[in-house]
Amino acid sequence: MTPFEASRITEALCRRAPVIPVLVIEDAAQARPLAKALVAGGLPVLEVTLRTPAALEAIHEMSRVGGGTVGAGTLITPKDVAAAKAAGAQFGVSPGATATLVQAAADEEMPLLPGAATASEAMALAERGYTMQKFFPAEAIGGVAALKSLAGPLPHIRFCPTGGVTPANAGSYLALSNTLCVGGSWVAPAELVRRGDWAAITELARAAAALPGKPAEYVA
């Protein structure tokens, strides 16, 4: 899979809903009902971060939920990519990008949403063919103002900002011409997950899905 092909796929995923839930799952038994709740609320693209021992099993469980597309976040090494692919992840997300990681994703035929924090990083990824990127850590590196500044000189690059995105600022990000969706954890609060309050999570997802996203179409 070429970087261009990967970006076409991840761009299509980013257009499916205005928010991609960023999930840290401690108990894999909660993965499937959590995925069902989020999909029912209108958020079909899910990112499970590889930050817990349960993450790979959670990806496996979520991959069996109809209507959803599950990916693996916090990919750092080629081993992470291979393990995520084996668990059933349909795409990957990384906080940054190295040549080794990018090559591993290509070797595994895994669409990658690579992270960039500066204009130079974004340009280097776009030069390789990755025109759909994660902007991370969004709020810590300037937030909406920083991302808006990149739109002028780099109009061909599109982003999914993640890191500090909340219901209060998500709309400001989504209003930018170079932002297709945002990544956020607020749609699945840890306390609601622990209680198994899937109805409440579905309502949070429904509110997030109602944010003004971009049309579900490819852009060359």
pLDDT, tens digit, 9 for 90 and up, residues 110-136: 999 999 999 999 999 999 999 999 999
Cβ atoms of 201 and 39 within 8 Å: the answer is no
What pLDDT score does 168 carry?
A: 97
Cα gap 131→16, rounded to integer Å: 17
What pLDDT score does 1 carry?
A: 85
Active centre residues (catalytic): 47, 134
Q: What are phi and psi of 16, to 5 degrees?
A: -75, -25
Q: Which residues pair with 22 in a beta bridge?
A: 47
Question: Has residue 209 got a pLDDT over 80?
Answer: yes
Does domain 3-209 correspond to CATH entry 3.20.20.70?
Answer: yes
pLDDT digits (tens, 9 = 90+) for 23-81: 999 999 999 999 999 999 999 999 999 999 999 999 999 999 999 999 999 999 999 99
pTM comes to 0.95
